[in-house]
C-alpha cells in the first residue's frame, strides 16, 4: 500500500480518497466491485436470483507470525488427515462410542467398513481441506490468552468459500488502493480458487492415467444440495477447472448416480458420462440423506473407481471426535512424530465425553456446568448452527445420559480479540464490534499408501462476525466474508 501511495502520482493515477467521511461512497463501490467480480450469494427465496455475498468493508488485522505459522502447518494437517483415514482400527476404536450414540457417524463408519471389506477399487483420495483458527487474545476474558491462533476445526468435506474468499481478497485490495485508511496491514495473496481447481485437476489427471480408455467422456462430478445459496462459489470452481485445465465439471445430486462395473455413470443415452472425481459439496449433514436411497448412492460412489473428495474415511477424519482424540498427548506421534509438537501447538483444550473415559468426564462436565461460558459443546455435525453454548450447554449437559453425552465433545471456548468493523449485508452496513476466524485451504491427493501425488496450500478465508454471536458460518447467516490484513 505504501508503495502504491508513493508511485501513484508518478503514474498519474487517481488520488486516494480518505475512507473516513466517505463510508457511503466506499460501500457503493464495494458492493459494485463484489457483484462485478462474482462475489454473489443466492436469494433465500429464489436460488436463481443473486445479490452480493455478505462481506466486511475492510480487512481484519491478523498477526503475521500466527498467519505464517498456520499456513506452514497446513501440509502436515493434510498428511495427518490421510494417515488417520488409512488407520481403520484407530478410527473404529476412536469413534466407537460416538457411533453408538450418533446415527450419522454410525452410518458413515459402517459404510467405510463395508467398502473396505469388498476391496477398494480406488486407493487414491483427494482432500480439499480448510483448517479454521481463532486468536486466543491476550487481555480478553480468557485469563491465559496467549495471542496464538488456535484451531477451531479441520474441515475435510465441502470446505466452501475458496472462490468467494478469493473475490473478497480482491475487493479489499481494490478498496485499500482507492480509500486511504481502508487497510492498516499487508493483504497476503490469495490463490484459493486456483489452488482448489489445481487439486481437482490433479485428481482428474490421476484417474485418466489409471484408466486411459473409455467409451464415454470423463468429468468431475460435484455433488450439490438442491437450491444451494452458495452456488457461485461452486460455479467459479467449475469455470476455473474448464478455463485453466480443460476439465469439465458437472453438478449432480446423490440420486443421479448409476453404477456399471465400478464406473460411475451419469446422464442418459448419448449424454452418458463417467465420473473421474466425485467432489462432495453435499453429503455432510443428515438432511442430505432424506432416505435410504441417498445412503445407497453414497455407497455406490464410495465403492466405485472414481476418486472421492472426500472418501468416507476422510470425512470421518474431520469429525470433532477425531479432532478431540488427536489432541490427547502422544497420539499424533503414532503417524507424524516430527510434526506432532508443532501441530499440537495450535490445539485448544478438547475433552472426551466417552463413558469409557470415566471420572475425568464427570469432572470436566461438572466444570462446564459451573462455567458454561468457558466451553463449547460440539456434536458430529458440519455447516454451522449445531454447537451448544451458555445456558443451552449447561442444561443439555445436566440432562444428557452418559451415552447421549458421548455423541459430543467439549472444547475450551476461544476468546478472540474484537475490533469495530463495518459488515455489509443486502447493501446495508452495520457497524459494531467484530471477531474473526481464519481458514487456511490445503489440497492433498494421495495414493492410499502414504505417498502424496499432489498438494498445495493456496490461500485463505477470513470470516468476521459480530461479537457476542456464538456460531460462525456465512451460509448459516452468522458471519460475513472478509480477509486478513497482516500486522
Ligand atoms: P462447523 O463444522 O459446524 O462449522 P465449528 O467447530 O466450526 O463447526 O463451529 C461453528 C462455529 O462456532 C465456529 O465457526 C466458531 O464461530 C464457533 N466456535 C466453534 N468452536 C469454538 C471455540 N472453541 N471457541 C469459540 N468459538 C467456537
Ligand atoms: Mg466444519
Ligand atoms: Mg466451522
| C-alpha neighbours within 13 Å on the C-beta side of residue 289 | 17
Ligand nearest to C-alpha 476: 1
Q: Is 141 a catalytic residue?
A: no
Ligand nearest to the CA of 327: 1
Contact 457, 444 (CB under 8 A): no
Which three three-digit cell numbers place residue 7?
A: 508511485
Give Cα separations from 104 to 108, 233, 247, 378 (angstroms).
6, 27, 33, 14
Q: Is 37 a catalytic residue?
A: no
> Could you give all domains of the chain from N- to C-terminal order, each with its CATH number?
2-348+414-486 (no CATH), 350-413 (3.30.1490.50)
Which ligand 1 atom is the nearest neighbour of the CA of 412? Answer: 23
**Can you state the percent helix, strand and coil of the chain, rounding each to 5?**
40, 25, 35
According to the annotation, is 463 in a ligand binding site? yes
Cα distances (Å, whole numbers) of residue 115 to 66, 95, 103, 299, 353: 40, 17, 18, 8, 29
Structure confidence by residue, pLDDT tens digits, 310-333: 999 999 999 999 999 999 999 999
Does 376 carry a binding-site annotation? Answer: no
pLDDT tens, residue by residue, 203-234? 999 999 999 999 999 999 999 998 888 999 99
Residue 168: predicted pLDDT: 98
User: Is 153 a known active-site residue?
Assistant: yes
Q: Read off the pLDDT of each residue in 370-384 and give the average, rounded to a whole number.
A: 96
Helix axes 23-36, 162-178, angle to 10 degrees: 140
C-alpha 446 – ligand 3 centre gap (Å): 24
Question: Could you read off the pLDDT of 424-464 as tens digits, one per residue?
Answer: 999 999 999 999 999 999 999 999 999 999 999 999 999 99
Residue bearing the CA closest to ligand 1, atom 23: 413
The one catalytic residue among 130, 148, 305, 405: 130
Selecting among 86, 112, 321, 378, the annotated active-site residue is 378
Grid cell for residue 164: 468467494
Q: 348 in helix, strand or coil?
A: coil
Q: For residues 154 and 332, is the Cβ–Cβ distance under 8 A? A: no
Q: Cα–Cα distance between 290 and 40 in angstroms, integer?
A: 28
CA distances in angstroms from 28 to 35, 86, 305, 424, listed in the order given: 11, 50, 49, 10
Question: Which ligand is closest to the CA of 472, given by its number?
Answer: 1
Catalytic member of 58, 97, 153, 303? 153
- Annotated active-site residue 394? The verdict is no
Task: Give the mean model confidence (pLDDT) for residues 250-273.
Answer: 91
DSSP annotation of 355:
G
Question: Which percentage of the chain shows pLDDT scores above 90?
Answer: 86
Confidence of residue 140 (pLDDT cuts 50, 70, 90): low
Q: Is 253 helix (H, G, I), strand (E, B) or coil?
A: coil
Residue showing cell 477425531: 322
Q: Is 405 annotated as a binding residue?
A: no
* Helix (H) or strand (E) run with residue 100 in it: helix 96-101
Q: What is the ipTM of this complex?
A: 1.00
Question: Within a 10 A sphere around the Cβ of 87, how many other Cβ atoms?
Answer: 16
Atom of ligand 1 nearest to the CA of 463: 14
Ligand 1 centroid–CA 413 distance in Å is 9
pTM: 0.95
Position 143 scores a pLDDT of 56
Per-residue confidence (pLDDT) for residue 8, from 0 to 100: 47
Ligand 1 atom with the smallest distance to the CA of 413 is: 24
Contact (CB, 8 A) for 28 and 171: no
Residues 6+ apart with CB under 8 A from 384: 471, 472, 473, 475, 476, 478
- Report yes or no: 315 and 108 within 8 Å, Cβ to Cβ: yes
Q: Is 141 annotated as a binding residue?
A: no
At 266-306, the pLDDT tens digits run 998 999 999 999 999 999 999 999 999 999 999 999 999 99
Percent of the chain surpassing pLDDT 70:
95
Rounded average pLDDT over 147-174: 97
Q: Which residues line ligand 1 (CB under 6 A)?
A: 132, 134, 152-153, 348, 376, 378, 381-384, 386-387, 411, 413-414, 437, 471-473
Question: Maximum CA pair distance of the chain?
Answer: 71
Residue with grid cell 458492493, as numbered in its chain: 31
User: For residues 244 and 315, what is the distance between their CA atoms, to the nearest angstrom?
Assistant: 28
Q: Does 378 qualify as catalytic in the annotation?
A: yes
Nearest residue (CA) to ligand 1, atom 13:
472
Whether 1 has a pLDDT exceeding 60, the answer reads no
Q: What's the angle, vertex CA 473, arms to CA 415 and CA 406, rounded to 5?
A: 70
Query: In this predicted structure, what is the pLDDT of residue 139?
Result: 59
Radius of gyration (C-alpha) of the chain in whole angstroms: 23
Phi, psi of 278 (to 5 degrees): -110, 115
Catalytic residue (choose from 51, 345, 383, 477): 383
Q: Is 251 a catalytic residue?
A: no
Structure confidence at residue 9 as a pLDDT band (50, 70, 90): very low
Question: What distance lies between CA 213 and its chain's CA centroid?
Answer: 34
Instruction: Mark whether 382 is an active-site residue.
Output: yes
Confidence of residue 348 (pLDDT cuts 50, 70, 90): very high
pLDDT category of residue 5 using cuts at 50, 70 and 90: very low
Amino acid at each position: 500500500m505504501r508503495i502504491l501511495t508513493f508511485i501513484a502520482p508518478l503514474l498519474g493515477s487517481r488520488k486516494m480518497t480518505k475512507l473516513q467521511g466517505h463510508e457511503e461512497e466506499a460501500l457503493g463501490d464495494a458492493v459494485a466491485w463484489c457483484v462485478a467480480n462474482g462475489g454473489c450469494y443466492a436469494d433465500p427465496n429464489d436460488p436463481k436470483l443473486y445479490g452480493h455475498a455478505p462481506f466486511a468493508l475492510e480487512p481484519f488485522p491478523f498477526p503475521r507470525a500466527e498467519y505464517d505459522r498456520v499456513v506452514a502447518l497446513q501440509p502436515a494437517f493434510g498428511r495427518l488427515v490421510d494417515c488417520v483415514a488409512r488407520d481403520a482400527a484407530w478410527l473404529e476404536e476412536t469413534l466407537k462410542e460416538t457411533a453408538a450414540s450418533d446415527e450419522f457417524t454410525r452410518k458413515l463408519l459402517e459404510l467405510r467398513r463395508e467398502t473396505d471389506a469388498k476391496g477398494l477399487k480406488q486407493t487414491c483420495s483427494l482432500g480439499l481441506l480448510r483448517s479454521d483458527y481463532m486468536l486466543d487474545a491476550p487481555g480478553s476474558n480468557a485469563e491465559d490468552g496467549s495471542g496464538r491462533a488456535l484451531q477451531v476445526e479441520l474441515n475435510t468435506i465441502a470446505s466452501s468459500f475458496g472462490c468467494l474468499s478469493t473475490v473478497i481478497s480482491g475487493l479489499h485490495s481494490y478498496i485499500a488502493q482507492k480509500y486511504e485508511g481502508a487497510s492498516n496491514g499487508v493483504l497476503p495473496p490469495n490463490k484459493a480458487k486456483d489452488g482448489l481447481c489445481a487439486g481437482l485437476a490433479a485428481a482428474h489427471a490421476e484417474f485418466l492415467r489409471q484408466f486411459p480408455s473409455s467409451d464415454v467422456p470423463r468429468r468431475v462430478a460435484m455433488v450439490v444440495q438442491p437450491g444451494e445459496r452458495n452456488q457461485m462459489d461452486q460455479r467459479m470452481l467449475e469455470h476455473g477447472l474448464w478455463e485453466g485445465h480443460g476439465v469439465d465439471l458437472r453438478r449432480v445430486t446423490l440420486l443421479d448416480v448409476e453404477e456399471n462395473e465400478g464406473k460411475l455413470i451419469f446422464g442418459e443415452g448419448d449424454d452418458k458420462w463417467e465420473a473421474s472425481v466425485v467432489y462432495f459439496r453435499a453429503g455432510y449433514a443428515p438432511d442430505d440423506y432424506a432416505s435410504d436411497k441417498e445412503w445407497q448412492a453414497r455407497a455406490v460412489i464410495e465403492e466405485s473407481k472414481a476418486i472421492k473428495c472426500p472418501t468416507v474415511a476422510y470425512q470421518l477424519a474431520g469429525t470433532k471426535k477425531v479432532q478431540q482424540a488427536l489432541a490427547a498427548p502422544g497420539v499424533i506421534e503414532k503417524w507424524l512424530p516430527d510434526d506432532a509438537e508443532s501441530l499440537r501447538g495450535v490445539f485448544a483444550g478438547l475433552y472426551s465425553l466417552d463413558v469409557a473415559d470415566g471420572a475425568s468426564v464427570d469432572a470436566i462436565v461438572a466444570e462446564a456446568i459451573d462455567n458454561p461460558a468457558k466451553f463449547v459443546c460440539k456434536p458430529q455435525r458440519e455447516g454451522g448452527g449445531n454447537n451448544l453454548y451458555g445456558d443451552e450447554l449447561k442444561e443439555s449437559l445436566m440432562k444428557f445420559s452418559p451415552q447421549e453425552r458421548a455423541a459430543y465433545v467439549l472444547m475450551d471456548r476461544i476468546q478472540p480479540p474484537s475490533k469495530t468493523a463495518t459488515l455489509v449485508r443486502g447493501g446495508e452496513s452495520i457497524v459494531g464490534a467484530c471477531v474473526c476466524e481464519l481458514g487456511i485451504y490445503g489440497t492433498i491427493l494421495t495414493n492410499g499408501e502414504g505417498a502424496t501425488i499432489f498438494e498445495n496450500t493456496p490461500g485463505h478465508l477470513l470470516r468476521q462476525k459480530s461479537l457476542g454471536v456464538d456460531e460462525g458460518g456465512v451460509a448459516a447467516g452468522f458471519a460475513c466474508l472478509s480477509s486478513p490484513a497482516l500486522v
